[in-house]
Amino acid sequence: MKSFRIRAVAFVASAALLALTACSAGSGTSPGSTTGASQSLAIGLVAEPASLDFTTTDGAAIPQALLGNVYETLVKLDESGKIVPSLAKSWTTSPDRKTYTFDLVDNAKFTNDKPFTAADAVFSINRVKTAWTTQLKAAMDVVQNVKALSATQLQVTLSRPSNDWLFRMTTRIGAMFSETGVSALATAPIGTGPFKFSKWNRGDSIVLQRNDGYWGSKPYFNEITLKYFKDPTALNNALLTGTINVIGTVQAPEALSQFTSNDKYQVIEGTTNGEVLLSFNNSEPIFKDIRTRQGIRQAIDHKALLDTCFAGRGKLIGSMVPPTDPWYEDLTSIDPYDLAKAKSLLQASGAAGKTLRLRLPTLPYAISCGQVVKSQLEQAGLKVQIDQLEFPAAWLTTVLKNADYDMSIIAHVEPRDLGTVFGSTKYYTKYDDPTLRQLLAAADTGNEAAQIDNMKKAARRLSEQAAADWLFLLPNLIVADKNLTGLPQNAITENFDLSRLARS
């Protein structure tokens, strides 16, 4: 009997231990923590890049870390979305809007000590066409000719006027490389930026060091560590324990109250370009019927979904345009939640009772939203099988590259990406719509008013054709040490600008 009593005590102890498991999990601290040193900073992020080479590898994590920090572009976006000078001091456009002449800065140099000249810009622009392998390279197809007029003057001639091209030059497509610095892009990036790449501890962190030879204003921090976390609670715990100083993208918004109620931290809430898409594989026969696509959209209660999987933070948009773009319209009234209508649409299209594979990347928001989507679609008569694919490697290969999926959930954070995601049948959405492509072409070649008008029509067409379902727009949720300044209110570019960060 005595041994039974001992076991009962052991049971109580083990129960307490198990309850505490959740408290302790994921709160491990790194011995190499940089917190406390005034000139160094650690930022917690999710989704570590699979490679450091965005010329051959997709994924937003690479430009997030490197663009604007290690690599620079000729022009860049300011926080209001306006195109402003960067490596180009100024530029002029010919009356036919086909020729751009850039005046470049004369004091920039790469971290391999080579000076940045117009020849590097020619090399970088041409290299997009010849060496890049990602779908984004298509943005440079419009370039007919590029030449260096002098060491600091560059001329780019387009085959037709393009509103989109100069904007794309603010993204990774416009990154400037050194001709002698592209041999190891996947592991040793070389750019002209305010930081230089120091080291990459795979599975853990990327370390950037201040580029003391930088041509512009030098950053405040001499070392910034980007630490990657798979678990949102571990990310939160890392800030609470001082392992990191900033949560770059909050993934557990339900737990935000622990920071808002604490004077040690500041919480920044703004908007992003991150459209969380329930993508359809439009090449699959089941999605050829618009009634299936509309039925799925109408089966999803977006407000409830946002409340459930992202604590109500974020915005419902209804198409592929965030409110910070000039052609934004609230299109949430198209295909509103209507379960009865969704059931009849799915019944009519013959999709009811069919099983669809919802292949999710192992990202917290995707896993959460996937469970809500499955439950709501099953109420409308579909069967949904959830597969989790390791992000980035497995998801990029299976879904993005091979399009081996029926539906997926991912945030598309590239700016102005409507054309990229739906304008080409080669992209993983496999959306084939000549009318949409005509609208996109008209928007690209027309004047500013025509661009806005046609992009509005394109966004509406996309939504009316139910090319995908736009679950919501990710919020820009950042939590940081109270005395940190320079954090972006809105995340409307694809990079995390580290050069403006400082301590007050």
Partner 1 sequence: MRRLNPSLIAGGVIVGLIVVMALVSFVWTPYDATLVNPAVRLAKPSWEHWFGTDKFGRDVLSQIMVGSRTTLFVGVVAVGVAAVIGVPLGILAAMSRRWAHELIMRTNDLLLAFPALLLAIMFGAVFGASTLTAMIAIGIASVPSFARVIRSGALQVMRTEYVLAARAAGRQPFPIAVRHVLPNVTSLITVQASVSFAIAVLAEAALSFLGYGTPPPTPSWGRMLQESQEFLFSAPRLAIFPGVAIAIAVLGFNLLGDGLRDRFDPKLEDRR
Interaction site with partner 1 (CB under 8 A): 1, 3-4, 7, 10-11, 14-15, 18-19, 21-23, 25-26, 230-233, 252, 254-255, 257-258, 301, 304-305, 307-309, 362, 367, 370-372, 374-376, 379, 386-388, 390
Q: Which is nearest to 227 in space by CA: 31, 59, 55?
A: 31
Look-up of token digits 């209508």:
341
User: In the bound complex, what is the minimum distance in angstroms from residue 233's beta carbon to partner 1?
Assistant: 4
User: In the bound complex, what is the minimum distance in angstroms from residue 274's beta carbon to partner 1?
Assistant: 20
Question: Interior CA angle at 173 toward 74 and 163, to 5°?
Answer: 75
User: In the bound complex, what is the minimum distance in angstroms from residue 464's beta carbon to partner 1?
Assistant: 27
239-252 burial, b if ≥16 CB within 10 A, otherwise e?
A: bbeebbbbbbbbbb
Closer to partner 1 at the Cβ: 141 or 390?
A: 390
Strand stretches in 18-151, DSSP E: 40-46, 75-77, 83-85, 88-93, 99-104, 143-150
User: In the bound complex, what is the minimum distance in angstroms from residue 372's beta carbon to partner 1?
Assistant: 5
Q: Which is nearest to 360 in space by CA: 395, 401, 392, 400?
A: 395
Distances (CA, A) of 401 to 57, 79, 285, 404, 475: 10, 32, 19, 8, 27
Closer to partner 1 at the Cβ: 386 or 450?
A: 386
Give yes or no for a contact between 47 and 363, defined as CB atoms under 8 angstroms apart: yes
Closer to partner 1 at the Cβ: 121 or 373?
A: 373
Parallel, antiparallel or unpaired: strands 502-503 and 484-485: antiparallel
Give yes or no for a contact between 81 and 324, defined as CB atoms under 8 angstroms apart: yes
User: In the bound complex, what is the minimum distance in angstroms from residue 415's beta carbon to partner 1?
Assistant: 30
Strand stretches in 221-334, DSSP E: 223-229, 246-247, 265-280
Which DSSP category does 8 fall into? H
User: In the bound complex, what is the minimum distance in angstroms from residue 369's beta carbon to partner 1?
Assistant: 10
Closer to partner 1 at the Cβ: 13 or 149?
A: 13
User: In the bound complex, what is the minimum distance in angstroms from residue 302's beta carbon to partner 1?
Assistant: 11
Closer to partner 1 at the Cβ: 472 or 496?
A: 472
Left if phi > 0, otherwise alpha if psi is -120 to 50, otherwise beta: which for 405?
beta
User: In the bound complex, what is the minimum distance in angstroms from residue 3's beta carbon to partner 1?
Assistant: 7
User: In the bound complex, what is the minimum distance in angstroms from residue 272's beta carbon to partner 1?
Assistant: 21
Closer to partner 1 at the Cβ: 3 or 130?
A: 3
Closer to partner 1 at the Cβ: 310 or 427?
A: 310
Closer to partner 1 at the Cβ: 254 or 284?
A: 254
Amino acid at 501: L
In angstroms, rounded to a whole number, what is the distance separating the alpha carbons of residues 436 and 441? 9
User: In the bound complex, what is the minimum distance in angstroms from residue 13's beta carbon to partner 1?
Assistant: 9
Q: Which residues make Cβ contacts (< 8 Å) with residue 462, sequence separation at least 6?
A: 319, 320, 418, 422, 436, 468
- Helices within 355-427 (DSSP H only): 364-379, 393-395, 418-422
Closer to partner 1 at the Cβ: 21 or 217?
A: 21
For residue 481, report the phi and psi dihedrals to the nearest 5 degrees: -55, 145
Closer to partner 1 at the Cβ: 211 or 398?
A: 398
Closer to partner 1 at the Cβ: 15 or 84?
A: 15
User: In the bound complex, what is the minimum distance in angstroms from residue 29's beta carbon to partner 1?
Assistant: 17
Closer to partner 1 at the Cβ: 4 or 36?
A: 4
384-422 burial, b if ≥16 CB within 10 A, otherwise e?
A: beeebbebbebbbebbbeebebbbbbbbbbbbbbbbbbb
345-371 burial, b if ≥16 CB within 10 A, otherwise e?
A: bbeebebbeeebbbbbbebbbbebbbb
Closer to partner 1 at the Cβ: 10 or 348?
A: 10
Give yes or no for a contact between 181 and 192, defined as CB atoms under 8 angstroms apart: no
Q: What SS3 state is found at 411?
A: strand
User: In the bound complex, what is the minimum distance in angstroms from residue 270's beta carbon to partner 1?
Assistant: 22
In angstroms, rounded to a whole number, what is the distance separating the alpha carbons of residues 157 and 2? 90
Q: What SS3 state is found at 96?
A: coil
User: In the bound complex, what is the minimum distance in angstroms from residue 444's beta carbon to partner 1?
Assistant: 40
Amino acid at 95: P
